[in-house]
Structure 1
Amino acid sequence: MSSVLYDVPGPRAIARNRILGALTIVVVLGIVGFFVWRLAVTGQFTAQKWSAFTYTNVWVQIGEATMRTIAAFLVAAVGALALGFVLAIGRLSDHAWVRWPFTAVIEVFRAIPVLVFMFLLYYGFPVIGIRMEPYWAVVIALVCYNGSVLAEVIRAGVESLPRGQSEAGYAVGLRKAGVMRLVLLPQAIRAMMPVVIAQLVVTLKDTALGFVITYPELLFYAKYIGAQPSVGSPIIPATIVIGAIYITLCLLLSFVANLVEKRLRRSPRGEVASAVQPLQQGATDTSLIVAQRGSAT
C-alpha cells in the first residue's frame, strides 16, 4: 500500500524508526542531563545564586523591564505590519517607476542587520545633530527590518495565488484596488499567517538587542542582576528566569495569533473569494460572468 507522497513503511522500517526515535530521545536526555549536572556541580542551584529573586523589588523591576519589552514590541509589530503592507503594495505595482523604488527600499532594509541599524540610529545620528532615545532607536530599527521582511512575505503570498483569482475579480467589474482588497489579500493573509506569526516572534525576541544601546528591557536587567556580586553574580539563574519570561511571551503571542487566524477563516469576506472560485477552476460560462457583473453593478 502506498501514498502519493511516500510509501507506507514495512515492519523492518517501522522497527528501525522506533530504534532511531528511542536513540534520539536518549541522546537528547543525555545532553540535557549533562548540562543540568554541570549547573549543579558549579553551584548554580544553590540558595545564594537564587537569593536575588526572593526580593520583591527585584520582581518589580523585572515586571517593569517586561513592560518596556512589550511596549517596544507592540509599536514595532504594528509599524512593521503597516510598513510591510505599504511596501508590498508598492512592490506589486504594474508601474516600473513605482515598483523599483519600493524594491530598492525593501532590499536595503533587509540587508542591514537590526543591531547595525540600532547602532546607526543611536550612535550615528548624534554626529549629524539628531539625538534619539534608545526606545525609538529600537522601535525604528525593528520596524524597518521586519517591515521589509513582511513585505516580501505579503508579496509572495499574493503572487502564489492562482491567476484566475484576479481575472475573476476583474470579470465581475472590480478595479485593481478592489481585487487586491476583496479577493487576493483575504486569501493571501490566511495562507501566510504562520509566516507572519513567526516573524512577529522574531520581532519580540529582537527587542533584546536593545540592551546594547542601553535600552532597559529584559536582557538589560538580566545582565544587571547577573553582575551583582552581593547576591552571588547569578548570571545563569537570571538568564533562566528571563528566558522563561521570553518563552511565555512568545507562547502568548502565538495563542493570540492563532485566535486571529481562526477568526479570519470565519470572516464574511471569504464569500467573495468563494464566489469567484468557479472561474479559477476553469469555468467559462458567459452567463455566469454576466450575472456576476449585474450583481456587482
Structure 2
Amino acid sequence: MSTEASALYDAPGPRALARHRLYGLLAALALAALLGWLVVELFDTHQFTAEKWTAFQYRGIQELLLRGLANTLKAFGWTVLLALPFAALFAAGRLSEHTAVRRISGAVVEFFRAMPLLVMIFFIFVALKADPLQALVAGLVLYNGSVLAEVLRAGVLAVPAGQREAGYALGMRKTQVMAYVLVPQANRAMLPSIISQLVVALKDTSLGFLITYEEFLHAGKLIATNLDYGLPFIPVVMVVAPVYIGLCLLLSWLARTVERHGRRSPKTRGGAPVAPAEAVTGLPPDAQG
C-alpha cells in the first residue's frame, strides 16, 4: 500500500480484509438475487412474448425511433452550442468589476437557475407561442447555461490569486489574464462538472415529449401505447433506456479523452525545460584582464 493511502486511514488487517470480502460477497449475492427476481417477474408478466417485441421488426417503427433519436441529438446539439456561450458571458459578468454588470448578471443567473425547467419550457411554448424545438432548446439553454455560469465562475475563482497578480505584473489586461492565465488553469477542475451538467441537459431533452416535440422518448411513448402490439411498455423501456445510458457514457468518455489530451499538451505541462544553474568560479569575463 502506498504511503499516501496509508496516511489517510489505517491499513486493514487480515480480519478486516476477511470482513470486507464477506461484505462484498453478500452484496454480490443480493444484487444477483434482485436481478433474478426481476427477470422472473418479467417472464411472469409475459414481457418477453413475441407479441410485445414484434413492433421493433417493422421498418416504420425503426424509422420512428431513429427519427426521434435524431431529434433528441438536434435539441442537445443546439443546447450545447448556445448554453456554453451563455454561461461564459454571464460568468464574466458575475466576475466584472462594474457593480451594475455584476448585479444584473447575478440576478439573471439566480433567476433562471431557480426556475423549474418544465415551467420555463411550458411558458415559452404556450405564452410565447414558440415552436416545440425552440421552446425546448430555450428552456434548456436558460437553465443549464445558468448552472454552467456558476461552474465557470467557481472554477476561475478557485485559481490561486497569485496567478492573477502575476499576469497583471507582466502588463496583461484583465481579458488577457482571464483568457491566457485563469481559464486554462481552471479548465481541468471545471471539466467534470461541465460534462455532468451536459449529461443532465441530454436527459432533460426527454421533457420535449410534454410539448409534442417528437424526440426519442416521444417515439417510445407512441410505441408503448400502441394497442396493436399489446402495449409493449417494458420492452420500449428496455430499448430506450440503454440508448440514453450509452449517450451519457459516450459524453463521459469524451470528457476523459479531452482531459488526457490536455495533460499531454505542452501548454499544460509547461514550456521547454530550463537548464539547471551551474556554479561558476573566478572573475567575470569583463573583470579579467
TM-score, normalisation: structure 1: 0.86
Q: Which range moved further: 257-266 or 16-25?
A: 257-266
**Offset of 1:229 from its aligned partner?**
0.9
**Offset of 1:36 from its aligned partner?**
1.6
1:39 to 42, 48, 71: 42
After TM superposition, list the pairs within 5 Å mapping 1:70-109 onto structure 2.
70-109=73-112
Counterpart AA for 1:240: M
Q: 2:59 corresponds to which residue?
A: 56
Counterpart AA for 2:31: V
- Determine if contact 1:92/1:155 at 8 Å carries over to the other structure: yes
Q: Which range moved further: 2-11 or 96-105?
A: 2-11
2:257 to 256, 259, 281: 259
**Offset of 1:268 from its aligned partner?**
4.6
Q: 1:187 corresponds to which residue?
A: 185
Supply the distance in 2 between the matched residues of 1:138 and 1:144 (Cα, whole angstroms): 10
Counterpart AA for 2:120: F
Q: 1:159 corresponds to which residue?
A: 157
Supply the distance in 2 between the matched residues of 1:162 and 1:111 (Cα, whole angstroms): 29
Q: 2:248 corresponds to which residue?
A: 250
- Determine if contact 1:182/1:269 at 8 Å carries over to the other structure: no
1:238 to 236, 253, 261: 236
Q: 1:3 corresponds to which residue?
A: 6
Q: 1:224 corresponds to which residue?
A: 222
Supply the distance in 2 between the matched residues of 1:218 and 1:237 (Cα, whole angstroms): 15
Q: 1:30 corresponds to which residue?
A: 33
**Offset of 1:253 from its aligned partner?**
2.1
**Offset of 1:261 from its aligned partner?**
2.5
Supply the distance in 2 between the matched residues of 1:270 and 1:179 (Cα, whole angstroms): 16
Counterpart AA for 1:206: D
- Equivalences, count: 268
2:119 to 97, 116, 121: 116
Supply the distance in 2 between the matched residues of 1:66 and 1:196 (Cα, whole angstroms): 23
Supply the distance in 2 between the matched residues of 1:19 and 1:173 (Cα, whole angstroms): 62
Counterpart AA for 1:230: D
Q: 2:210 corresponds to which residue?
A: 212
Supply the distance in 1 between the matched residues of 2:27 and 2:265 (Cα, whole angstroms): 43
Whichever of the two has the greater Rg, that structure is: 2
Identity fraction in percent = 48
Supply the distance in 2 between the matched residues of 1:268 and 1:71 (Cα, whole angstroms): 35
Supply the distance in 2 between the matched residues of 1:74 and 1:266 (Cα, whole angstroms): 28
After TM superposition, list the pairs within 5 Å mapping 1:127-206 onto structure 2.
131-206=129-204
Q: 2:72 corresponds to which residue?
A: 69
Give unpaired runs (5+ residues) of structure 1: 126-130, 276-297
Supply the distance in 2 between the matched residues of 1:201 and 1:217 (Cα, whole angstroms): 16
Deviations 1:250-270, CA, capped at 9 Å, x for gaps: 222222233233333344543
Counterpart AA for 2:110: E
Q: Which range moved further: 19-28 or 82-91?
A: 19-28
Counterpart AA for 2:149: A
Counterpart AA for 2:16: A
Give unpaired runs (5+ residues) of structure 2: 272-289
For 1:80, what is the secondary structure of its paired residue?
helix
Counterpart AA for 1:8: A
Supply the distance in 2 between the matched residues of 1:30 and 1:86 (Cα, whole angstroms): 51
Supply the distance in 2 between the matched residues of 1:229 and 1:249 (Cα, whole angstroms): 30
Supply the distance in 1 between the matched residues of 2:80 and 2:32 (Cα, whole angstroms): 36
Q: 2:282 corresponds to which residue?
A: none
Supply the distance in 1 between the matched residues of 2:61 and 2:254 (Cα, whole angstroms): 29
Supply the distance in 1 between the matched residues of 2:89 and 2:267 (Cα, whole angstroms): 21
TM-score, normalisation: structure 2: 0.89
After TM superposition, list the pairs within 5 Å mapping 1:248-287 onto structure 2.
248-270=246-268, 274=270
Supply the distance in 1 between the matched residues of 2:86 and 2:263 (Cα, whole angstroms): 24
